[in-house]
Structure 1
Amino acid sequence: MILSLILLIVCGTVAGSMLYGRRKQKRAQTMEEWALGGRKLGTLVFWFLNAGEIYTTFAVLGISGFAWAYGAPAYLAFCSVSLSAALGYWLTPMIHAYGRRHGLVTQADFFAHRYQARWLGVCVAAAGLIALVVYVQIQVTALTLVVRLAAGPWVSQGAAAGFSVVLMLLFVFLAGLRSAAFAAGVKDVVMLIVVIVLAWTVASVVGEASVLDVFRTVGERFPQATRFPGLKPELGLDVTWLVTSAINVALGTYIFPHMFQLCYSADSGTTIRRNAVFQPIYSLSYFFIILLGFAALLAGTKAPGGDPNSLLLAFVEQRYPAWMLGVLAGTASLLALVPGSVLLLTCGSIFGRNIVRPLVPTIDDRTELLVSRLAMVVFAAIALYLTLGASGSLVEIGLSAYAAIGMLAPGVYCAFLLRRTSAAAVLGGLLTGYAVLWMPTLSSLAAAWFPHWEIGLVALIANAAVTVGLSLASPRKELVAQPA
């Protein structure tokens, strides 16, 4: 039953999304059609696609497992989505307008054009690919859990992960951005229904009278779970960590290259603003997701192998009928498949347009599209390798991805706020930020000076200080390309 429901949900959604994509547009022959949906995504389609990149396995499997393992630090989810939407209301329409005006396709295009430095576009492309591959790893990890659940314990993690990567590649090869938008809408609606149904019934499942009683009993039996620093105080996940992590996530959400491309794909700035206004509604679902993690804590559920990422699946398997597990697992597959496919699509388009084209300027559009599609196989293989060697929770992996991509944030914000910012200043900030983030000596020094801060935010502040400082110290120079 579980396998049948998973196949029904996944195959049905993928088939419907491909039919939708083919009906809306002819087979993609250019990068703009394939990667941006022809820049024609309206309010509803853009809403689901944008939300689909936020409401992923990181949100459902990751946050519920994080609440079970750490307790109150999972409240990070409430803060980050709302802060991101508030910042996006200002930032994303400007990204959209600049990209449409200059015919940009990727984030690296923005840096190369705005700062009139193709070499900077190559550097940004490389940095963006690093963060994107880590984010693909999250989706592969989650899809691997579902594949192993469906296929049985005799399937190894490596085989399940390899099969997951093949599924993502097949979907993104055969589809495009519009098809992914349709699939994102289906999985968002179904997952919200599943989460609400689980939350509605979870109190009786764990022997409580109401949802509020679940929280009350958790507070009585596990008092550390409901207040900071949570169930593992030795990790320092206190209020300082919460605030700095939420700010870092908010600053980095729309800096991810795939979110940049989503901004380009909208049909107007009004579509993007409407999306930002209603986007925080999604943060309300985190209440139910955290509730499920706390309910599993009350029920004494043990995550298989101690892996918090599989906690929700294990809890539903033990406490609910098989059909409910099948529906959850099938929808969780879409939560990983759709964002993972969009991420791989973005990786391919960046590689073809911003790595290969500068090296081979004579390449035509069709060849560039072919190179981009083939490059996705390589990036998927790298994500597979990272998945097989990973041991952290989805939330921890996600925060590391936000820390990496946050290094591009000063270059984006300065593009609109500080006209005299130069390509050299952006590069200087990038090198400083990555040094703080990845050099053990500087990381240790940052941790000592800013105890319990999210290291990504410390690195971002150092990056921004160097970028702004170098810009103000350099002679004033008018750039050819200026954002409106």
Structure 2
Amino acid sequence: MILALTLAVVLGTMAGALLSARRHAKARTLADWAVGGRRFGVLVFWFLNAGEIYTTFAVLGISGFAWAHGAPAYLALTSVSLSATIGYWLMPNIWNAGRKFGLVTQADFFAKHYNAIWLGVVVGIAGIIALIVYVQIQIVALSLIVRLTLGTDVSAVAAAIIAAVVMLAFVYFAGLRSAAFAAGVKDVLMVVIVVSLCLTVASKVGAASMLDVYRMAQDQYPDIGRLPGLQPEAGLSTVWLMTAALNVALGNWILPHLFQLCFSAGTEATIRRNAIWQPLYSLSYFFIILLGLAALLAGTEPAGGDTNAVLLQFVSDRYPSWVIGIFAGTACLLALVPGSVLLLTAGSIFSRNILLPIVPRLSDRASLLASRLSMIVFAAIAVWLTLGGSRSLVEIGLSAYAAIGMLAPGVYFAFLWKRAHAWGVLTGIVIGYCALLLPQAQTLWNTLLPHWDHGLIAMAVNASVTAMVCIAWPRQPALRTQAA
């Protein structure tokens, strides 16, 4: 029953997504396939944009983080609202640039604004690396669901490969529009099932109500409701929460796939309306954290202590098969939709910003084919990363935000400072990655700024170096991409 219901949810949504895509003009060019023809309205854009918030990182990752740490899971509540605040200003500027200059990818933006094709290549490579790390999150989660439905006899390698194949099949043919349809189905299903689980979760752990679950958790684990939570040695203090939330908010719209989502909107008003209402999604974290605490009270012990599998294990232990099947199918969509968009974006960047400068006469059809084939390679790399590590989804997500944050100063300076130029941005990126990745730098930050999020520190170093280079070495002002 679990397998049948899981397949029914996933295959039904995939069929609907493909039919939805076929009703519209067939994707004949990379732009049609990657940004949906730049015609998405308020409702489609809402679900597609929200689909990048309501992922396995949000549901499986945050619930497991609450189970393991407690209060540090409140990071999710703060970062979504802060991101929407910044997005209200930044997204329309990105959209205007894309509409005015026919941009498809984030690397297009850097190449056009700073009048440097080579910078677009550098940014494209950095963006693809960050996207592959983010795809890893979805494959980790999807492989856990595969093993839940098919049984633990399926090896971790086989589960990860199956997850990658399903994800590729989902996006390979229809592009962004198929993901938009599936995002709507996924969001509705997940809201319904999470709320339904929360309405019944009190009886599963001996509590009188949902709020009583919080009280019981506080009584049994006195440190669970305040920072640094259940594991003080992890360093998840108030300073960590503030700096990590700020880093996520500043880096969120710099993720390459969110650039492409901005380009897909039909109007500027569509973007602003979504930014106004998007913080409502943060309210769902009340229920997600509640489920994590309930799993803790229930004594849930996932195999190997894997925090990513806590919610799946809790539902599997405490609910009937038909509930497990629907939940597993919906959780599959949580990984499939954002994972597909991530792979689509990485493929678009490869063909348009890395391959095209090398082969300038590449046709649209060949570019589209190269984009699709490159996705297979990127998915394979993500599978390899999945098999080589065991970090929580939240930790992997913060690593992706830290990596992509090295491109943030170049984006913000593009709209705020006319003197910024390509060489300054490149220097900042190189020094920023050194500040983020070198072991000596990490030791220095732990000494000087204990508990600070290293991604935010590296971003600040990046911005400072970029500004100093642009001041000390003035060059021709960059092309203004912001619409009048």
Normalised by the length of structure 1, the TM-score is: 0.99
Aligned to 1:383: 382
Q: Distance in 2 between matches of 1:75 and 1:387?
A: 26
Task: Give the letter aligned to residue 145 of structure 1.
Answer: L
**1:272 equivalent in structure 2:** 271
Partner SS for 2:23: helix
State yes or no: 1:314 paired with 2:323: no
Q: Deviation of residue 390 (structure 1)?
A: 1.5
Task: Tell me the secondary structure at the aligned position of residue 209 of structure 1.
Answer: coil
Structural mapping, 1:103-142, within 5 Å: 103-142=102-141
Q: What is the count of residue pairs matched by the alignment?
A: 483
Which secondary structure state, in structure 1, belongs to the residue aligned with residue 223 of structure 2?
helix
Q: For residue 43 of structure 1, what is the aligned residue in structure 2?
A: 42
Q: Which residue of 2 aligns with 1:17?
A: 17
> In 2, Cα distance between the equivalents of 1:479 and 1:72?
44
Q: Is the 8 A contact 2:54 2:334 kept in 1?
A: yes
Residue 362 (structure 1) aligns with: 361
1:137-286 pair list within 5 angstroms: 137-286=136-285
1:7 corresponds to: 7
Q: What amino acid sits opposite 1:73 in the alignment?
A: P
Summarize deviations over 1:140-170 as a string: whole Å, max 9, x none. Answer: 0000000001111111010011011010111
The answer to whether residue 404 in structure 2 is matched with residue 405 in structure 1 is yes
Mapped contact 1:419–1:482 kept (Cα < 8 A): no
Quote the residue 2:446 is aligned against. Answer: 447
User: Any idea what the Cα deviations from partners look like across 1:93-141, whole Å, max 9, x if unmatched?
Assistant: 0000011100000000000000000110000000001100000000000
1:114/1:483 contact within 8 Å kept: no
> 167-176 or 116-125, which moves further after superposition?
167-176
Letter in 2 for 1:67: A
**Are the equivalent residues in 1 in contact too, given 2:2–2:322 (CA < 8 A)?**
yes
Q: CA deviation at 1:321?
A: 1.1
Q: What secondary structure is seen at the aligned counterpart in 2 of 1:316? A: helix
In the alignment, the residues of structure 1 paired with residue 382 and residue 84 of structure 2 have an alpha-carbon distance, to the nearest angstrom, of 28
Closer/same/farther in 2, CA of residues 14 and 482 from structure 1, 3 Å limit: closer
Paired residue secondary structure (2:207) = coil
1-structure distance, mates of 2:439, 2:286? 37
Residue pair 1:113, 1:481 contacting (<8 A) in 2 also: no
CA positional deviation for 1:474? 2.4
Deviation readout 1:225-284 (Å, 9 max, x if unpaired): 111101110011010000000000000111000000000000011000000001001000
Instruction: Please give the residue correspondences for 1:386-465 in structure 2 after superposition, counting only pairs within 5 Å.
Output: 386-465=385-464
Shift >2 Å, 4+ stretches: 472-484
Deviation at 1:25, TM superposition (A): 2.2
CA distance in 1, matches of 2:274, 2:167: 26
1:176 to partner: Cα distance: 1.3
**Contact 1:108–1:350 at 8 Å: present in 2 too?**
yes
Ranges in structure 2 where 5+ consecutive residues have no aligned partner: none
Give yes or no for contact 2:292–2:311 (8 Å, CA) kept in 1.
yes
* Unaligned stretches of 5+ residues in structure 1: none
Q: Does 1:59 align with 2:58?
A: yes
Asked whether the equivalents of residues 105 and 348 of structure 2 are also in contact (C-alpha less than 8 Å), the reply is yes
Q: Deviation per CA, 1:159-188: give whole Å up to 9, x if none.
A: 011011010111111221111100000000
Following TM superposition, by how much is the alpha carbon of 1:473 offset from its aligned partner in structure 2, in angstroms?
A: 2.2
Question: What is the distance in 2 between the residues matched to 1:54 and 1:123?
Answer: 27
1:448 Cα deviation (Å)?
A: 1.1
TM-score by length of 2: 0.99
Structure 2 partner of 1:472? 471
Q: Secondary structure at the match of 1:175?
A: coil
* CA distance in 2: counterparts of 1:190 and 1:206, whole angstroms: 24
1:423-442 Cα shifts (integer Å, max 9, x gaps): 01101110111001111111
Q: Distance in 2 between matches of 1:123 and 1:131?
A: 13
* Preserved CA contact (<8 Å) 2:420 2:478: no
| Preserved contact between residue 116 and residue 481 of structure 1 (Cα < 8 Å) | no
